Amino acid sequence: MRVGAKSITIRDVAHEAMVGVGTVSRVLNSGAHVSRATTERVEAAIRRLGFRPNAQARRLLRPHSEIVCFLLSNRDFPHTFHARILQGVENYARSIRQHVIFAAVHYDAGTSPERIPLPPILQERGMVDGLILAGTVYANFLHRIQQMEIPFVAFGNNVMKYEGQRNFDQVSYDAFPGEREATLYTIGQGHRLIAFGGDVSYPWMRVRNEAYLAAMRERNLNPIAFTAPKPALSNLEYGDWLASRALARKPRPTAMIAGNDEVAFGFWRSLRRRGLRIPEDMSLVGFDDREEATLMDPPLTTVRVRKEEVGQACMKMLLERLHHPSMAYSERLLATELVVRETVKGLSRSSATGSAEKERRLPARRKTTANVELPAEG
């Protein structure tokens, strides 16, 4: 705060404690090779002078800055999804005494890599040890990052990559098991006419659709897929559109597997407005398990993605990469899981066992009650 005041350096401390600067440095860091008495004298001097080491000078000599950058591209936080990932990153980072710079970047899929603006700090060397990429990653952005020669880990689900791309580290969630489980569960509840709704021009929607298709195929059921791309529509509006399509279909589906929670929400609202109820008139399953899923009435049965764990895994993987720079690139896949709440109606058993199904009882997931919340924000 005091402007003109020369700040206290390690030399001042050394003088005050009547030792050499090397000794002070040793006390500050390892503490090894310094006698107990000297250590105490130095510590007393530090306290007396209110000395705090200069962060920049320290890092100038160290191989690592212990700072990573969480780089969010082309996203805002209105969807809590990425905020939760950031939280997971910070949480784990803190536990291992690392720090996180949060930066956002906005770019166009068409611009050449060199023109994509990056935080000034990334142009320099040595400030951040590595990068965690979240948000949509197109090829040009990926190139830009790779040119920087900074170790990085990407949250893989929003990377526009070709099948099985493995030339960088990534953490993704695997929508397949969760979505398959959800579909099988719905079948198990006696449904036969089960629709899937989601714009498959998004790669992440495609996986969910495939899981749905696989589950239907397993049970010898005919899929009913509403997967048309609707670029102009928001998720909510997509849910709206889905409702009109589903209701118009003959025979009408008894259940809808929505591509994500927001689509499910739009669907649910649309039905309500037509005087139809969920799950009485139609069952509904979401994907993501956003907070709002528990707020819906009745609470939404959905597939959970553990967002904090994704963040934690990213941070962990980046650290491994930093420690072992020549390690082979890998992708870590986190499982997803069904969360049974109350939007899938159990149909009567009579017509249920059409196919020769063993009625494989899925391990009944815990029914989540209303989440316990911290005191409200302002």
Tell whether the torsion through CA atoms of 174, 176, 180 and 182 is positive or negative.
positive
**Smaller CB distance to DNA: residue 1 or 372?**
1
Residue (of 116, 145, 121, 117) closest to 133 by Cα position = 145
- Give the separation between CA 306 and CA 313, rounded to whole angstroms: 11
Is 21 an interacting residue with respect to a copy of itself (CB under 8 A)? Answer: no
| Minimum distance, C-beta of residue 40 to a copy of itself, in the bound complex (Å) | 18
Residue (of 266, 284, 257, 269) closest to 178 by Cα position = 257
Q: Contact with DNA (CB under 7 A): which of 2, 3, 4, 35?
A: 35
Is 28 an interacting residue with respect to DNA (CB under 7 A)? Answer: yes
Show the binding pattern over residues 114-153: x = contacts a copy of itself (CB under 8 A), - = does not. -----xxx-xxxxx--------x------------x-x--
Residues 307/293, Cβ–Cβ less than 8 Å: no
**Smaller CB distance to DNA: residue 17 or 242?**
17
3: phi then psi, degrees, rounded to nearest 5: -75, -65
| Minimum distance, C-beta of residue 120 to DNA, in the bound complex (Å) | 12
Tokens of 275: 């005087």
Residue 38, binding choice from a copy of itself, DNA, none, Cβ under 5 to 8 Å by partner class: DNA
Is 235 an interacting residue with respect to a copy of itself (CB under 8 A)? Answer: yes
Residue 306, binding choice from DNA, a copy of itself, none, Cβ under 5 to 8 Å by partner class: none
Residue 29, binding choice from a copy of itself, DNA, none, Cβ under 5 to 8 Å by partner class: DNA
3-state secondary structure string across 324-337: CCCCCCCEEEEECE
What 3-state DSSP class applies to 37?
helix
Residues 6+ apart with CB under 8 A from 340: 185, 301, 364, 365, 367
- How many residues belong to the site for DNA (CB under 7 A)? 32
| Minimum distance, C-beta of residue 206 to a copy of itself, in the bound complex (Å) | 11
Tell whether the torsion through CA atoms of 175, 177, 178 and 182 is positive or negative.
positive
Q: Which of these segments, 6-14, 174-182, 205-213, 324-332, binds DNA (CB under 7 A)?
A: 6-14
Is 57 an interacting residue with respect to DNA (CB under 7 A)? Answer: yes
Is 112 an interacting residue with respect to a copy of itself (CB under 8 A)? Answer: no
Report CA-CA distances (Å) from 90 to 120, 303, 320. Answer: 22, 24, 16
Q: Which of these segments, 31-39, 241-249, 352-360, 370-378, binds a copy of itself (CB under 8 A)?
A: 370-378
Residues 108-137 that bind DNA (CB under 7 A): 125
Tokens of 283: 């069952």
- Give the separation between CA 17 and CA 107, rounded to whole angstroms: 54
Residues 323-362 that bind a copy of itself (CB under 8 A): 325
Is 60 an interacting residue with respect to DNA (CB under 7 A)? Answer: yes
Residues 249-278 that bind a copy of itself (CB under 8 A): 259-260, 262-263, 265, 269, 272-273
- Give the separation between CA 208 and CA 287, rounded to whole angstroms: 9
User: Is 313 exposed, middle or buried, given 0-12, 13-18 or 19+ CB atoms closer than 10 A?
Assistant: buried
Residues that bind DNA (CB under 7 A): 6-7, 9-11, 18-26, 28-29, 32-35, 37-38, 51-54, 57-58, 60-62, 125
